[in-house]
Amino acid sequence: MSAPEILSRIVGPAACLTSADDVAPYAVDWRGSYRGTPAAVVKPATTAEVSNVVRACGETGLAIVPAGGRTGLCGGTVPPANGPQSIVLSLERMNRVRSIDALDFSIVAEAGCVVQNIQQAAADAGRLFPIQWGAQGTAQIGGMLSTNAGGIRTLKWGNARELVLGLEVVLPDGRVLDDLRRVRKDNSGYALRHLFIGAEGTLGVITAAALRLQPVLKRVETAFVAVPSPEAALALYGRFMDSGADLVAFELCARYCMETAAKHGVGLRMPLPLESPWFVMVEIAAAHPSVPLREMLEEVLSEAIETGEATDASLADSEAQRLGIWKIREDYPECSRLEGPAVNTDTAVPVSAVPAFLEKAIREVAARWPEGRISAIGHAGDGNIHFGLHAPAGWSHGRPAWAERADGFEALVNAIAVSLGGSFSAEHGIGVSKRHAMATHKSPIALDVMRQIKAALDPETRMNPGKVLP
Ligand SMILES: Cc1cc2nc3c(=O)[nH]c(=O)nc-3n(C[C@H](O)[C@H](O)[C@H](O)COP(=O)(O)OP(=O)(O)OC[C@H]3O[C@@H](n4cnc5c(N)ncnc54)[C@H](O)[C@@H]3O)c2cc1C
CATH number reported for the structural domain that contains residue 227 in this entry: 3.30.70.2190
pLDDT at site 375 = 98
Q: Which of 59, 90, 121 is the last residue of a domain?
A: 90
Please check the confidence at residue 215 and state whether its pLDDT lies above 80: yes
Is any ligand 1 atom within 6 A of the Cβ of residue 4?
no
28, 70, 73, 328, best to mutate for ligand 1 pocket (most atoms within 8 Å of CB):
73
CA of 432 to the centre of ligand 1 (A): 13
Spatial distance between the Cα atoms of 315 and 413, rounded to a whole number of angstroms: 34
CA of 275 to the centre of ligand 1 (A): 34
Domain contains 468: no
Identity (one letter) of the amino acid at 345? T
Which segments of 125-222 does DSSP mark as H helices, in order? 141-146, 154-157, 193-196
pLDDT at site 396 = 75
pLDDT band at 447 (very low <50, low <70, confident <90, very high): very high
Q: State whether 79 and 161 are in the same domain.
A: no
Please check the confidence at residue 175 and state whether its pLDDT lies above 80: yes
**Among 137, 43, 46, which Cα is nearest to 90's?**
43
pLDDT band at 399 (very low <50, low <70, confident <90, very high): low
Domain contains 435: no
Spatial distance between the Cα atoms of 433 and 429, rounded to a whole number of angstroms: 9
Please check the confidence at residue 272 and state whether its pLDDT lies above 70: yes
Is any ligand 1 atom within 6 A of the Cβ of residue 465?
no
Domain contains 453: no
Question: Which residue CA neighbors atom 23 of ligand 1 most closely?
Answer: 143
- Which residues, 6+ apart, have CB-to-CB distance to 417 below 8 Å? 345, 347, 348, 349, 357, 423, 424
Is any ligand 1 atom within 6 A of the Cβ of residue 147?
yes
**Among 218, 159, 229, 227, which Cα is nearest to 194's?**
159
Q: What's the start-to-end Cα distance of the chain, in Å?
A: 35
pLDDT band at 394 (very low <50, low <70, confident <90, very high): confident
Please check the confidence at residue 397 and state whether its pLDDT lies above 90: no
Domain contains 469: no
Average pLDDT of the segment spanning 148-160: 95
Task: Answer for the pair 86, 63: CB distance below 8 angstroms, yes or no.
Answer: yes
CA of 78 to the centre of ligand 1 (A): 12
pLDDT at site 10 = 97
CA 182 from chain centre, in angstroms, equals 24
Q: State whether 346 and 322 are in the same domain.
A: no
pLDDT-above-70 percentage for the chain: 99
The pLDDT tens digits of the residues spanning 219-250 come to 999 999 999 999 999 999 999 999 989 999 99
pLDDT-above-90 percentage for the chain: 94
CA of 390 to the centre of ligand 1 (A): 23
pLDDT band at 400 (very low <50, low <70, confident <90, very high): low
Q: State whether 224 and 185 are in the same domain.
A: no
Spatial distance between the Cα atoms of 66 and 78, rounded to a whole number of angstroms: 9
pLDDT at site 120 = 98
Q: Coil, helix or strand for 209?
A: strand
Let me know if 432 is exposed, middle or buried by CB neighbors in 10 A (0-12, 13-18, 19+).
Answer: buried
Question: Which residue CA neighbors atom 48 of ligand 1 most closely?
Answer: 76
CA of 72 to the centre of ligand 1 (A): 4
Average pLDDT of the segment spanning 341-361: 96
Domain contains 415: yes
Q: State whether 118 and 199 are in the same domain.
A: yes
Please check the confidence at residue 321 and state whether its pLDDT lies above 70: yes
What DSSP character marks residue 71? -
146, 257, 327, best to mutate for ligand 1 pocket (most atoms within 8 Å of CB):
146
Q: State whether 287 and 323 are in the same domain.
A: yes
Is any ligand 1 atom within 6 A of the Cβ of residue 75?
no
Average pLDDT of the segment spanning 81-86: 90
Q: State whether 329 and 251 are in the same domain.
A: yes
Is any ligand 1 atom within 6 A of the Cβ of residue 72?
yes
CATH number reported for the structural domain that contains residue 383 in this entry: 3.30.70.2740
Domain housing 120? 97-215
Q: Which of 75, 90, 105 is the last residue of a domain?
A: 90
Is any ligand 1 atom within 6 A of the Cβ of residue 378?
no
Global pTM?
Answer: 0.95
Q: Coil, helix or strand for 163?
A: helix
CATH number reported for the structural domain that contains residue 55 in this entry: 3.30.43.10
Please check the confidence at residue 257 and state whether its pLDDT lies above 70: yes
CA of 140 to the centre of ligand 1 (A): 7
**Closest ligand 1 atom to the C-alpha of 201?**
44
Average pLDDT of the segment spanning 378-388: 96
pLDDT at site 83 = 87
Domain contains 457: no
Please check the confidence at residue 130 and state whether its pLDDT lies above 80: yes
CA of 290 to the centre of ligand 1 (A): 37
Task: Answer for the pair 220, 283: CB distance below 8 angstroms, yes or no.
Answer: yes
Average pLDDT of the segment spanning 180-197: 94
Q: State whether 392 and 329 are in the same domain.
A: no
Q: Find the range with the poorest average confidence among 287-291, 355-359, 434-438.
A: 287-291
Is any ligand 1 atom within 6 A of the Cβ of residue 44?
no
Q: State whether 104 and 197 are in the same domain.
A: yes
Is any ligand 1 atom within 6 A of the Cβ of residue 112?
no
CA of 49 to the centre of ligand 1 (A): 23
CA of 136 to the centre of ligand 1 (A): 9
pLDDT at site 1 = 83
Domain contains 456: no
Domain contains 121: yes
Overall domain count for the chain: 4
Is any ligand 1 atom within 6 A of the Cβ of residue 344?
no
Q: Which of 34, 60, 90 is the last residue of a domain?
A: 90
Q: Give 111 or 81, the one with higher predicted confidence.
A: 111
